Structure 1
Amino acid sequence: MMMMMLSFFLSFFFQAPGTWRWMLGVAAIPAMVQFVLMLLLPESPRWLYRKRRVEEAEAILRKIYPTNEVEYEIRALKESVEAEIEEGGSSEKINIGKLLKTKTVRRGLVAGVGLQVFQQFVGINTVMYYSPTIVQLAGFASNQTALALSLVTSGLNALGSIVSIYLIDRTGRRRLLIVSLCGVVLSLGLLSTVFHKTTSSSPAIGRQETARFGGYTCPAYDSAGSGSSSWDCMKCLTASSPDCGFCAASADKLNPGACLISNSTVRDLCHGESRLWYTRGCPSRYGWLALIGLALYIIFFSPGMGTVPWIVNSEIYPLRFRGVCGGIAATANWISNLIVAQSFLSLTEAIGTSWTFLIFGVISVVALVFVIACVPETKGLPIEEVEKMLEHRALRFRLWKKGNDDERKNSSA
């Protein structure tokens, strides 16, 4: 999260020819640091145990765990590895069929993979990757302004991750997820409403304003004839062959403006008359509400859905299956990330920004139902109790748990 915020800072402050090359080049620095640190990373104690290098494994565990816990961890690891050997293999050799035949693993995968998929499908990385674009769609024309305002969302995301450290063991994983998703649903509802208002109340196209720029009038606007009287900024921006842009009125950007061909020459002409030039979104009096919606989205998402899916995935699987199950969940997360990131701009062009955020909102409601029904509370439970809980667990629509005692009662029921 901190690295993402740093990347936004670099994007904002790098103002020189070839900026994109500098931004890509700077990314090599943390990669090199990580490479050096990886050389110092100790080997997995589990792998060492599997290779009969018991003393090395125990030495690493003694560095990681407090003195009063290390003997328990050594014993638990030894028992888990022996159980794997008795079953005829290690986690690396386990196939998908075997995983799905094991009830506890199957239920754990449903919860773990489901959380990772929903983490992406509620739209977080569209907000993080495309926040400057979203800011422009909300009516802020300047690239500099869009980048500056996107720093707010990245900063809130980093701050929310820190807040999660404080809340995760006080509120529990499940409760934090539920509160997070409720806030995400409300935020996406606000964003959808704001962008609907922005689209439906965009400034009109003025024929006299457009005529001021001579031969640079948008061809689609010219060919519309008498129908051009109904044109507004949004219709101008959706014109194509060639693409067109909106040059706002100089006195008030909400007054009728000009619909012109979109290129650097026309942009400079527009700016030369102290006007704002729009190619993504239109001037709107509701733009600041969109920023509030984005901020609320990050504030609610980051402490809950931003961090809890990774924590649950580290706790929910039986120890002998944790490696392969964690890999499956992480793969599901990145595939979902790819789908959402690649489809966002296409969706906004095809159905509009308002409907796109509404779709994310509906998915968030589905995610909330999924958490209530399928995700158990793992707070404070040793792995053995989590395994027993998954063995006996049925779908239950319960919002709150009184504590770990309730989970133990439920798991033995």
Structure 2
Amino acid sequence: MAVARPIIGAAIGGWANDRYGRRSAILIADFLFFTGAVIMASALAQLFSSLVEFCWTRCWNGIYDCPSLHFRGFSCKNPRCPCQYQWISHYWRPVPLLSHQLGLYQGVPALLQFSLMLLLPESPRWLFRKGREEEAKAILGKIYPADDVETEIQDLKESIDKEILEEGGSEKINLIKLLQTQTVRRGLIAGVGLQVFQQFVGINTVMYYSPTIVQLAGFASNQTALLLSLVTAGFNAFGSIVSIYFIDRTGRKKLLIISLFGVVISLGLLSGIFRETTTHSPIVIATESSFAAYTCLDYSSVTNAVGWDCMKCLKASHPDCGFCSSASDKLLPGSCLISNSTVKDLCHKSHREWYARGCPSKYGWVALIGLTLYIIFFSPGMGTVPWIVNSEIYPLRFRGVCGGIAATANWISNLIVAQSFLSLTQAIGTSSAFLIFGIISVVALIFVLIYVPETKGLPIEEVEKMLELRTQHYKFSEKSSGPLEKSQEM
């Protein structure tokens, strides 16, 4: 449910941005998120976390997730805002649910953003569309030098008049007509495709299940697994900061390609390491007398258990079984025992390691390197650029709706991947699961090369022209010209 709750919010958020304006929608979302955080904190503090109340507050918070997509259209066309949102979300994500204080912690970014948003104006382009031209002109006068204000106002007015003439002045948007509009349809292919691939290359399996993945790599301790997963989350936050620096220097498309290239290599490394861990796990030997009463039933019932190793032990299910390593060396043969707290404590008291998810491996540290590389390559590119491209690629009239569609696609994909990962690893193994993510990453790389345009340095009008002229985009940069270029530089 925690993964599914932003889907509704993402779908509503796009409509709210068009209906009430970018600034108002963000303020409303911040208020809802802070309210949800306070209610959740209160519920946890009182040890009352009924399913209805918990899900309701999380749905409120889900609505907050969508407006970040529209920061760039707010005033000065700054793509760093989605990068900053990405950094904040990953900064707060790794905090474990230890007490009711977490609910209050989650409300801090929303309260801070609400306070800062009060100091910012509404989007001039949105104001023009609503007929509030004087307000829009006043805001543009504060953003641009006096010599360029009239040119910017005229260009903006002509662009909006053209949109109204082509699409009509009605506030209602016909989805069928939207999809029949060539520039919007091509923009949706690029925008929605990026959001879907962002999830299907496996990022949130790493973020949600990083302690489990660390244990699958051969680290038995829960504390060690949690600590290493927090380090991974830290690299994710750091990568988003790197994106803020490079996004306007390197360009969106180049950053995506570099990111996906690194992701493919990292996933290949992870797949190979987990295959090595699976095929070379310690063998199982006859249980010692001190553990005889706790021998795994599947193991004891087999007449010839010569082929049993740690991995086969962990797959036993009558009942669930775990592997108690050798006291002298965890890579030496160990015992296959019933998995429960009593047996786990008995194993630890004998100065042995207890494994219930993954098996001992001398290559576990290489898997950690693979996870770290995956995060380092993913977060500056695929972590932030899909949100930035989606804030730049649609005409203003359709930006709210299209942004909502893309965000909803992102969260639906997130739900599918997150809910299927553990079942996938159990069915085909961790190595094969990462291999599948690697293959999807290759497809994503091809998709970016063909369908995603480079929007660096381009005003909205030129992005529309570019989408109108062609479907496929092999170039890595586009150059604006004339007044538009001057306006963009300002």
2:407 corresponds to which of 327, 330, 333: 330
Q: Quick check: 2:264–2:441 contact (8 Å CA) kept in 1?
A: yes
Shift of 1:92: 4.9
Q: Does 1:347 align with 2:424?
A: yes
Shift of 1:41: 6.4
Secondary structure, counterpart of 1:389 in structure 2: helix
Alignment deviations for residues 4-46 of structure 1 (CA, whole Å, 9 cap, x no partner): 33442x32xx8xxxx3655456434545555666676654444
Matches within 5 A, 1:75-224: 75-87=154-166, 89=168, 92-209=171-288, 211-224=289-302
- The 1:24–1:356 alpha-carbon spacing in structure 2 relative to 1, beyond 3 Å, is farther
1:404 paired residue number:
478
- The 1:78–1:343 alpha-carbon spacing in structure 2 relative to 1, beyond 3 Å, is same
Secondary structure, counterpart of 1:378 in structure 2: coil
- The 1:3–1:378 alpha-carbon spacing in structure 2 relative to 1, beyond 3 Å, is closer
* Aligned counterparts of 2:455 and 2:167: Cα–Cα separation in 1: 29
2:439 paired residue number:
362
* Aligned counterparts of 2:170 and 2:426: Cα–Cα separation in 1: 45
* Aligned counterparts of 1:54 and 1:66: Cα–Cα separation in 2: 18
What is the identity, as a one-letter code, of the residue corresponding to 1:296?
L
Shift of 1:49: 3.3
* Aligned counterparts of 2:442 and 2:300: Cα–Cα separation in 1: 45
What is the identity, as a one-letter code, of the residue corresponding to 2:367?
A
What is the identity, as a one-letter code, of the residue corresponding to 2:341?
S
Q: Quick check: 2:324–2:336 contact (8 Å CA) kept in 1?
A: yes
* Aligned counterparts of 1:174 and 1:91: Cα–Cα separation in 2: 35
Shift of 1:214: 2.7
Secondary structure, counterpart of 1:225 in structure 2: coil
* Aligned counterparts of 1:71 and 1:283: Cα–Cα separation in 2: 69
Q: Does 1:242 align with 2:296?
A: no
* Aligned counterparts of 2:230 and 2:395: Cα–Cα separation in 1: 40
Unaligned runs of 5+ in 2: 1-86, 483-490
1:411 paired residue number:
none
* Aligned counterparts of 1:89 and 1:313: Cα–Cα separation in 2: 23
2:91 paired residue number:
5
Q: Does 1:305 align with 2:382?
A: yes
What is the identity, as a one-letter code, of the residue corresponding to 2:296?
C
Q: Does 1:385 align with 2:462?
A: yes
Unaligned runs of 5+ in 1: 409-413
Secondary structure, counterpart of 2:249 in structure 1: helix
* Aligned counterparts of 1:102 and 1:117: Cα–Cα separation in 2: 22
Q: Quick check: 1:195–1:290 contact (8 Å CA) kept in 2?
A: yes
1:231 paired residue number:
308
What is the identity, as a one-letter code, of the residue corresponding to 1:181?
L
2:362 paired residue number:
285
Q: Does 1:296 align with 2:395?
A: no
Alignment deviations for residues 154-213 of structure 1 (CA, whole Å, 9 cap, x no partner): 11111111111221122211111111111110100000000000000111111044x431
* Aligned counterparts of 1:175 and 1:213: Cα–Cα separation in 2: 58
Question: Identity of aligned pairs, percent?
Answer: 70
- The 1:380–1:263 alpha-carbon spacing in structure 2 relative to 1, beyond 3 Å, is same
Q: Quick check: 2:192–2:405 contact (8 Å CA) kept in 1?
A: yes
* Aligned counterparts of 2:89 and 2:388: Cα–Cα separation in 1: 20
How many corresponding residue pairs?
Answer: 396
What is the identity, as a one-letter code, of the residue corresponding to 1:215?
A
- The 1:406–1:185 alpha-carbon spacing in structure 2 relative to 1, beyond 3 Å, is farther
